[in-house]
Structure 1
């Protein structure tokens, strides 16, 4: 074992999973017109600017950091999501400066672009492999929280918008759609890329840019029937998943069983990956609904961060199982401390904020540790490095 492995310590990957990664072949379908006729031609041009010595995983990681930068920046200027609101208590908070929205637009554009060219850089340099896909989708699991948590600042939480509780369910809608797409691949062996992804990324970039140029008040309007802009945004989020993403996932799963092209797992094994997110949803929602201090309103950012981080770990473990063609774990261990926190909150209400901070810290450290260990173990097994490459393309 090398020095890096000694520093990391924990080995999360089993010999069976490593063997599965050795035999893994990437299989995906992308039928989106926007993706095929606009985004990919653009990315094919951009990737030629990138030096060949830059590792694809560097592009992936830097893109992720751009998204995190948006979350940190907006947390500094709008921690409680009141800065875009005019009604009390939003009138007590300074509005977010225009340059912050321009910076968010730039960061989001860079994150989307780097996420689009990392795979192309890998194929361009002949360094494609399971580590790159795992690294990419693993960081996407966390990004799935950061992006909606940032865009909510555009609308705020009071006038012309939705409450923190309603946004909590919007977030669950987003992360469950992401999880379902990987559960779909777990069963079908094919990653069907949803049409809505690139559309949503372009729209979010446009929203940031328009907000930076015109100001946050441009989103203070109502449409037919008195429906506000924030409610319209909420409706679009649900419509995108319930009308397109989820039905297509279930249809693709059905077809894989009908045509016998997937893994053909029995009902119990097929539904096994759904137990952890179901228990997680029940625990987190019980905390929200029975919170002594109304935690979703008193500190929505921290609570949503905790939910997004635990979800990222759950989703990463599903991706590992899906790519290595091994059985998914039954329950994620982070549900145990979460259960303890919920019990502490109910029995000792004065400790609620401390419990939230502790659970957020535990989830963050555990998830980062898991990611670092898995990447290190795969690098050791395949005799490669994560952030440096040898150009093998002719």
Structure 2
């Protein structure tokens, strides 16, 4: 039986001709973090594959998500901070994990250059797992504040703001062929690390106050995330895309083709928002964690497909099939169908069961997609994802990227 494939021949040709083009204009990143990472990478043996470093950092992010979720599945622990169900050591472990994950994310590319294994697979693998981390990190951060400081609906829009910041970076590269690293990324990762560490040392009571007697820490956290995108990211992305057309340095796609990657993103936002606002069972309050995991998984799938398209210089998808299931379940949940046939005592649980089913199905689908794409690229380039083996391939790709 033939294997199911995700990459077409045009994708493979595009990856053959791909050249990495990245710009980091952050003063903090260039003058603080990169020297730090350049120093640390010297201690990594050259037999350690860069993708293994990337994957290890991602696993630490998953550990945080599972660990905090185990103690505070419904984001209620911070509602009574002095009797929190989350031990302080959990926050300290989470702070260490997120900082190590952030550090490994900064080192993997440098290890690739050290070992002569730079190439499209490494970049795709790195940014692919980052798209999932963009969903997981905000989710477990909400346990610091609890639902009394920040409602699940506000959490929903905060997560979508994070999604937007990540997605626009790759939407920009799709049109300009240049990846401009966002300024706010380093500050965000440091901020998350410090907040988790402070929580581990002083407990959740640390965040039980009002700034100026008016604003909760959760509100300040929200505003920082919103404003950072509006000030340090979005205007510059729009400006650089416009300038790429004026100077004819980008892909010069027609307008509809240029904005095509936004269609699945905006559609997913519309579907999820209509669902959580219209659910007759207030499903967002009942299952916030699983809904956020579901939405984040579908977002990651959309993002990964965009990354494949922009790296292979192929047409981006205008639709994602996982959204069909969301439309069906979300559509049913906002209609009176659950009340038919005297199922009134069952319908709240039915919607929760469907959410769990969709989250599991979407996760399996995303894992299959990620594994399939990586396997196909490894077969195409005759390399191994987690082994430093083919120096010839690495030298060729390294020379091409330089």
Q: TM-score under structure 2 normalisation?
A: 0.92
Instruction: Output aligned runs, 1:261-280, within 5 Å.
Output: 261-280=249-268
- 2: CA distance between counterparts of 1:238 and 1:12? 35
Aligned mates of 1:294, 1:111 — CA distance in 2 = 35
Query: What's the CA shift string for 1:151-177, capped at 9, x where partnerless?
Result: 11111111xx21110010000000011
Aligned counterpart, 1:363: 362
Kindly state the Cα deviation for residue 324 of structure 1 after the two structures are TM-superposed.
0.1
1:204-353 alignment, distance < 5 Å: 204-224=192-212, 226-345=214-333, 346=335, 347-348=337-338, 350=347, 351-353=350-352
1:391 is displaced (CA, Å) by 7.2
TM-score of the superposition, structure 1-length normalised?
0.94
Are 1:134 and 2:124 matched, yes or no? yes
Match of 2:173 among 154, 161, 185: 185
CA distance in 2, matches of 1:39, 1:314: 30
Distance in 2 separating the partners of 1:241 and 1:338: 28
Distance in 1 (CA, whole Å) between partners of 2:295 and 2:139 is: 11
Which stretch shifts more, 52-61 or 346-355?
A: 346-355
1:42 pairs with 26, 36, 40, which one? Answer: 36
Deviation at 1:355, TM superposition (A): 1.5
1:259 Cα shift?
Answer: 1.1
Query: Which of the residues 135, 138, 148 maps onto 1:145?
Result: 135
Counterpart residue number, 1:103: 93
- Once the two structures are TM-superposed, the CA of residue 225 in structure 1 deviates from its matched residue by 5.8
Question: How many angstroms apart in 2 are the aligned matches of 1:142 and 1:200?
Answer: 16
- Larger CA deviation: 148-157 vs 162-171: 148-157
DSSP-derived class of the 1:318 partner: helix
- 1:279 is displaced (CA, Å) by 1.2
Q: Is the 8 A contact 1:67 1:108 kept in 2?
A: yes
1:48 aligns to what SS in structure 2? helix
- In structure 1, distance between residues paired with 2:184 and 2:331: 38
Q: Is the 8 A contact 2:383 2:390 kept in 1?
A: no
Runs of 4+ in 1 over 6 A off after TM superposition: none
C-alpha distance in structure 2 between counterparts of 1:44 and 1:383, whole Å:
29
Q: Secondary structure at the match of 1:253?
A: helix
Distance 1:150 1:94 in 2: 15
Residues 383 and 389 of structure 2 are in contact (CA less than 8 Å); yes or no, is this contact kept in structure 1? Answer: no
- Cα distance between partner residues in 1 of 2:189 and 2:380: 35
Aligned residues: 382
Instruction: Report if the CA contact (8 A) 1:142-1:308 is conserved.
Output: yes
Q: What is the RMSD of the two structures over their aligned residues, measured on CA atoms?
A: 1.5
Tell me which residue corresponds to 2:25: 31
Query: Where do residues 151-190 of structure 1 align in structure 2 (5 Å cutoff)?
Result: 151-158=141-148, 161-190=149-178
